[in-house]
Amino acid sequence: MHPRTLRAGEFFGTPLMAERLGAFSLSLWRIDGPGSLPWHRHERPYVTFVVRGGYRERLSSGDRTCNARAVVMHAPGELHADDFTRSATCLSIESDSRFDYDDVAGVIESPTTSFVGDRIFAELQAHDAFSPIVIEGLMLEMFGEAARARVGTFEPRWLRDVRDTIATNFDAKLTLAALARRANVHPAHLARAFRRHYGRTVGESIRASRIEKAKERIVAGEMLSNVALDCGFSDQSHLTRTFRRLTGMTPAAFQRANRVQDAR
């Protein structure tokens, strides 16, 4: 069976409201979960603001988690399917404008885009003669934020929380799957986003965090066997191998070097 292509203004779910405001067509719709939408594509590019609820979007390249108040941008013809574990209300915006959706397609989660989404939703509910120009300005702001995220300068809150969790729980048995569950994202999405933003994998970051904490304990003069266990290593040998690989010296050599510096 061939995936369905949805025409302009056509969305799955229960339509709640639809308005044409200038160059923009706005559609408010609801999906009563749990349930799934089949593989499909949209004829036109569009932006979806998740007003309430949330869902997971499947693509050939991986999954996207679309939480409440997230903005999801789709290039025209992008093939996807959606899974709803709970009900969701979404506002979708199609445009005749010049925006380049191919460069910003994806999920954007930030206070700025959430605020913009809220304002567009308010314009749909109580629009007047000025709404078209207001919405165009808001869409420009949204695409600017999306472009910033595309080049990697925007750090999603959930990703920052994962980074902080690793830094503060260096001695715990952290796994990619557990961190992804905590952030409510797919493990593959977490792995890609983490490496893109921080230049290292989740595992490398966990390892580096443990080594940095081990350095502090070593400098403080603690026994290496205690440092190893307290910093999440299986034993002193494990600490020594990892420490040498990351710093170029053994923990004992590092300890001696810091003693010499203190003596000076």
Write the pLDDT tens digit of every residue in 53-83.
999 898 876 788 898 988 898 888 888 999 9
User: Contact at 8 Å (CB) between 23 and 97?
Assistant: yes
Of the pLDDT bands very low, low, confident and very high (cuts 50, 70, 90), residue 105 is: low
Place of tokens 């990703």: 159
Of the pLDDT bands very low, low, confident and very high (cuts 50, 70, 90), residue 15 is: very high
Please say if the pLDDT value at position 233 is more than 80.
yes
Q: What pLDDT is attached to residue 61?
A: 67
Please say if the pLDDT value at position 17 is more than 70.
yes
Please say if the pLDDT value at position 130 is more than 90.
no
Buried b (16+ CB within 10 A) or exposed e, 66-99: bbebbbbbbbeebebebebeebbbbbbbbbeeeb
Q: What pLDDT is attached to residue 207?
A: 87
Q: What pLDDT is attached to residue 98?
A: 55
Q: Check residues 2 and 133 and name the one with the higher pLDDT.
A: 133
pTM of the predicted structure, to 2 decimals: 0.56
Output Rg (C-alpha) for the chain, integer angstroms: 24
Place of tokens 């191919």: 102
> Helices 236-247 and 202-219: crossing angle, nearest 10°?
100
For residue 47, which of 117, 111, 150 has the smallest C-alpha distance?
Answer: 117
What pLDDT, in 10s, does the model give residues 208-226? 888 888 888 888 888 888 9
Q: What pLDDT is attached to residue 101?
A: 56
Place of tokens 């789709």: 74
Q: What pLDDT is attached to residue 103?
A: 54
What pLDDT, in 10s, does the model give residues 169-186? 877 888 888 999 999 888
What is the spatial distance between Cα 151 and Cα 232, in angstroms, rounded to a whole number?
A: 34
Long-range contacts of the stretch 202-207 (C-beta < 8 A, 24+): 202/162, 202/166, 202/176, 203/176, 205/163, 205/166, 206/166, 206/170, 206/174, 207/242, 207/246
Q: At CA 235, angle to CA 230 and CA 237, rounded to 5?
A: 130
Mean pLDDT across the chain: 84
Q: What pLDDT is attached to residue 90?
A: 95
Query: Would you give the DSSP letter of residue 68?
Result: T
Amino acid, single-letter form, for residue 156: P
Q: Check residues 154 and 215 and name the one with the higher pLDDT.
A: 215
User: Contact at 8 Å (CB) between 246 and 209?
Assistant: no
Q: Which domains does the chain have, with CATH numbers?
A: 4-150 (2.60.120.10), 157-263 (1.10.10.60)
Q: Check residues 147 and 51 and name the one with the higher pLDDT.
A: 51
Q: What pLDDT is attached to residue 219?
A: 86
Peptide bond into 132 cis (omega under 30): no
